[in-house]
Amino acid sequence: MPYSAEHKDKTRKKIVETARVLFNRHGFNGVSIDMVMQEAGLTRGGFYNHFKNKEQLFSEAVMSFLMGRGAEWREDAGVDVSNLQPEMAHQMINAYLSPEHLNDLDGQCPMIALPSDIARGGIEAQQSFQTLLEAMVSLFETNMSSDDSTNRQWAQAIAALCVGGMVLSRALPDSTLAKEVRVAAGQSAKRLLSEGQR
């Protein structure tokens, strides 16, 4: 067996990570397979040894955020998934709506960078999207008071505020207004959080 199994796996991971960055920046149609492979230091020929088609790559790129770049994100924000504390939800909201996140075109959350692409895309990409959202909602939910069946609702609304605030911010040409929106979304998100923590 020439080429160790790890080699193929490493190559595949590199392609996915490269694709994640490029898709984040340019969207599904703005990225060609050539572009991805070149950026990964390969040529387009090998692509179909790793993936069925471009859609599959897209879906995996979206999903890869959760355990890859997203994990770094949570770490930077001081969010420890294995040891959740009430103030972590606050930190998560602040980090998600921060100018740093807005400026991080490569590392940003795909829910912000790619919602239209995913809405129009195949079901696989949508499944990846749903997994991301569920992770985010579950993080907020876990930070609430233990026995209230409405926690999930609050958590979902907070997620909608975070994503909505950033999606709006990204599409606005006036950076002052964009900041206003992020601040407004953040304040309201924390207000909703305190409802859930009551």
Task: Considering only residues 8 through 27, tell me which ones interact with DNA, judged by CB under 7 A.
Answer: 8, 11
Give the residue, chosen from 17, 39, 46, 188, that forms a contact with DNA under the rule CB under 7 A: 46
Residue 76: phi and psi, rounded to 5, are -55, -35
**Tokens (6 digits) for 197:** 């923590």
Among DNA, its own copies, none, partner that 47 touches (CB below 5 to 8 angstroms by kind): DNA
Whole-number Å distance between alpha carbons of 182 and 198 = 24
Q: Which residues contact 102 (CB under 8 A, 6 or more apart)?
A: 108, 166, 169, 170, 178, 182
Tell me whether residue 5 is exposed, middle or buried, using C-beta atoms within 10 angstroms of its C-beta: 0 to 12, 13 to 18, 19 or more.
exposed
Q: What is the x/- site pattern for its own copies, positions 92-131, by CB under 8 A? A: -------------------x-xxxxxxxx--x--xx-xx-
4 part of the interface to DNA, by CB under 7 A: yes
Whether residue 150 contacts residue 196, with contact meaning beta carbons closer than 8 Å, is answered with: yes
Q: Is 1 in the site for DNA (CB under 7 A)?
A: yes
Q: Does 125 bind DNA (CB under 7 A)?
A: no
- The single residue among 25, 32, 80, 100 that binds DNA, judged by CB under 7 A, is 32
Instruction: Output 36 or 157, the one with its CB closest to its own copies.
Output: 157
Percent helix / strand / coil, the chain, rounded to 5: 75, 0, 25
Q: Residue from 17, 21, 33, 78 that binds DNA (CB under 7 A)? A: 33
Question: What is the sign, positive or negative, of the torsion defined by CA atoms of 171, 116, 92, 197?
Answer: positive
Interacting residues toward its own copies by CB under 8 A: 26-27, 29-30, 111, 113-120, 123, 126-127, 129-130, 133, 152-154, 156-157, 159-165, 167-168, 170-174, 177, 180-181, 183-185, 187-188, 191-192, 195
Interacting residues toward DNA by CB under 7 A: 1-5, 7-8, 11, 29, 31-35, 37, 42-50, 53-54
